[in-house]
Amino acid sequence: MKIAVFGARGKVGAVVVAALADAGHDVVEIDVGDSVALEGCEAAVDFTQPDAVEGDVAACVRAGVPCVVGTTNFDREAVDGMAREQGVPVFHAPNFAVGAVLMVRFASEAAKHLPQAEIIELHHHTKVDAPSGTAKATAEAMGGEVEIHSVRLPGLVAHQEVILGGQGQTLTIRHDTTSRDAFVPGVLLALERVRELPPGLTVGLETLL
Ligand code: NAP
């Protein structure tokens, strides 16, 4: 497939570009200052920054190119609206690591029995948004009223702890992304499946598993 990668020189984008090339895809690399050449692309991936997503998706849907968005904390309503209007599917996962998807599922189950909980999410110091998209999705899956603490430090990649407290006990569910390679299988799966999705925005890796 010919696939465009927005944010190709970023930390995640560079890993995705290498993985797509290894899998035999023809990759169009797009980063700040590059022209947006989508001719002939069958799909696109975006790992940029929240305020860039709308423009990138607008270019994709105008060109009829289905798009997989990895960037977190963008305006989902706006993106869904433009994708529906142009009749093009767009897919977003707040976290493409399967372990993180399982963490959200386990936390949602645990919250039924231990309703008091807090989330600590820890990321590299260059991450621009807080709290993380995964932490927000976890809190939502747990019923909403869950406090989130954000830590930003060099040396970290992406980590999250969900701590649930009950009478005389605590339960901790923890996920660690030790390398950005963790996102690759999820991104490849989304790229394979995005064209079959309905027009508009579909959210969550769990919808594809
Ligand atoms: P990063 O290293 O800052 O990379 C972002 C790259 O995108 C930079 O090279 C940036 O260029 C470029 N860029 C910005 N606006 C652009 C545009 N309009 N068109 C093309 N390129 C553009 O960040 P990262 O760590 O790779 O993370 C990127 C995003 O992915 C963040 O929102 C992060 O939260 C998210 N993320 C999601 C997952 C997931 O599983 N869903 C996993 C990890 C990260 P400049 O540096 O020149 O601005």
- pLDDT one-digit tens code per residue, 138-178: 999 999 889 999 999 999 999 999 999 999 999 999 999 99
Distance 41 CA to ligand 1 centre (A): 20
Amino acid at 35: S
Spell out which residues line ligand 1, taking CB within 6 angstroms: 6-7, 9-13, 30-32, 47-49, 52, 55-56, 70-72, 93-96, 127, 183
- pLDDT one-digit tens code per residue, 101-151: 999 999 999 999 998 999 999 999 999 889 998 999 999 999 988 999 999
Residue having the nearest C-alpha atom to atom 47 of ligand 1:
32
- pLDDT one-digit tens code per residue, 42-78: 999 999 999 999 999 999 999 999 999 999 999 999 9
Show the tokens assigned to 66: 């289905």
Report the distance separating Cα 8 and Cα 18, nearest Å.
10
- pLDDT one-digit tens code per residue, 13-53: 999 999 999 999 999 999 999 999 999 999 999 999 999 99
Distance 47 CA to ligand 1 centre (A): 4
Distance 181 CA to ligand 1 centre (A): 15
The pLDDT value recorded for residue 195 is: 96
Burial of 147 (C-beta count, 10 Å sphere; 0-12/13-18/19+): exposed
Nearest to 100 by CA among 152, 178, 48: 178
Reduced to 3 states (helix: H, G, I; strand: E, B; else coil), residue 60 is: helix
Annotated catalytic residues are 123, 127
**At a CB cut-off of 8 Å and minimum separation 6, what does 171 contact?**
110, 114, 163, 164
Cβ atoms 12, 35 nearer than 8 A? no
Residue having the nearest C-alpha atom to atom 11 of ligand 1:
32
